[in-house]
């Protein structure tokens, strides 16, 4: 498996609290992604990064922000968590050629429950 670790793996929080999920890679891949997985919706892209300090929005970015200050770390922040953000969050990385020419390698996922 590619060297990707997500933390925390499980988190329960209350509505209105801030939450940060961390993705750490040891592969030196340029592209990093955050997806959320919900039943019936597959995997939906939240944000992605194509380099240090270079990020862009995906299809479901409202309520989320990201930061990438180092090649190896990509942080996803929920400024004020809502129950609709209860989900399983997957980080993914791909090689320097970009997603349309390479495989996505996923982390193990982070299960977030917002009460």
Q: Which residues bind other proteins (CB under 8 A)?
A: 31, 33, 35, 40-45, 48, 50, 56, 58-59, 90, 98-101, 103-104, 106-109
Give the nearer residue to other proteins in terms of CB position, either 72 or 106: 106
Cis before 46 (ω within 30): no
For residues 75 and 104, which CB has a smaller minimum distance to other proteins in the complex? Answer: 104
Under 8 Å between Cβ of 115 and 13: yes
In the chain the first and final C-alpha atoms are separated, in Å, by 33
Q: How far is the CB of 45 from other proteins (least distance, A)?
A: 6
- Residue 59: other Cβ atoms inside 10 A: 8
User: Could you give the C-alpha distances from 108 to 14, 72, 101, in angstroms and in order?
Assistant: 23, 16, 23
Give min distance, CB of 86 to other proteins, in A: 18
CA distance 27 to 114: 32
Nearer to other proteins, 56 or 79 (CB): 56
Least distance to other proteins from the beta carbon of 102, Å?
9
CB of 107 to other proteins, least distance (A): 6
Nearer to other proteins, 4 or 81 (CB): 4
């Amino acid at each position: 498996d590619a060297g990707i670790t997500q933390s925390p793996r499980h988190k329960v929080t209350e509505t209105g609290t801030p939450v940060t999920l961390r993705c750490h890679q040891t592969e030196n891949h340029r592209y990093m992604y955050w997806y959320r997985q919900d039943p019936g919706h597959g995997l939906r892209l939240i944000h992605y990064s194509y380099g240090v300090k270079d990020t862009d929005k995906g299809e479901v970015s409202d309520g989320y922000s990201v930061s990438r200050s180092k090649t190896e770390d990509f942080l996803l922040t929920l400024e004020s968590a809502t129950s609709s953000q209860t989900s399983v969050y997957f980080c993914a990385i791909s090689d320097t050629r970009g997603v349309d020419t390479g495989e996505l390698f996923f982390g193990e996922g982070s299960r977030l429950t917002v009460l």
